[in-house]
Chain A
Amino acid sequence: GESVGLHLPTLSVQEGDNSIINCAYSNSASDYFIWYKQESGKGPQFIIDIRSNMDKRQGQRVTVLLNKTVKHLSLQIAATQPGDSAVYFCAENTADTGRRALTFGSGTRLQVQP
């Protein structure tokens, strides 16, 4: 499959453990954030989003935490499974080019050991 990133930071966890993927965003004016999962050979897949008026949002097995004070976003995956192995991107909705567009982080590779 295509190489998403040759030197991505990698998080290796055991199957069944919880995973925490962190992301520092750049613009304090960003008001909308999304986490995406990208598997080899596929496009990014939406996982969960959060707006800046919230600190926490939960989905199925996933939780996103937003700390606006330090411009930090995290994705928690409960009971990590081999199918969770992928590259995870955070994205912020920011207005670098005049109008708002999603700007993506560089990604973190999650490897789940069976």
Chain B
Amino acid sequence: KAGVTQTPRYLIKTRGQQVTLSCSPISGHRSVSWYQQTPGQGLQFLFEYFSETQRNKGNFPGRFSGRQFSNSRSEMNVSTLELGDSALYLCASSLVTQEGGSPLHFGNGTRLTVT
């Protein structure tokens, strides 16, 4: 079974631009979560989607948004990029929502660099 796929693998953007990252979950998984990973802050929860609905959201500004499609694929968008948004963005999928307590299976991430 194919794992979680994230595209693109690397991305370089300029301050003020916006970016869209894509995630395809493991087949059959309906929950998709997004995390931001930086050396200083570690892994931080962004949001979780299940059945095309946002189930939970972390403490990030409204510039960070996401959506999920009917095939469970998900995208996240960051608008008005800031230098501090440079990070590894990780997508994870699971069979049920995080409320149910099941393992998250991560992709290899998208490395975003903002210059």
List the interface of chain A (C-beta within 8 A of B).
2-6, 31-32, 34, 36, 41-46, 49, 51, 89, 91, 93, 97-107
Contact = CB atoms under 8 A, between A and B. Distances in A.
Q: Is the interface of A mostly helix, strand, loop or mixed?
A: strand
A101 B59 CA distance: 12
Given A4-B37, A43-B107, A101 B48 contact: yes
B32 interface: no
Size range of the chain B interface in the assembly: 20 to 34
Which of A46, A51, A97, A102 is the most central at the interface, judged by chain B CB atoms within 10 Å of its CB?
Answer: A102
Main secondary structure, interface of B, reads strand
B4 A43 contact: yes
Contact of A101 (B4, B42, B56, B108): B56
A93 B56 CA distance: 13
Nearest to B9: A41
B88 A2 contact: yes
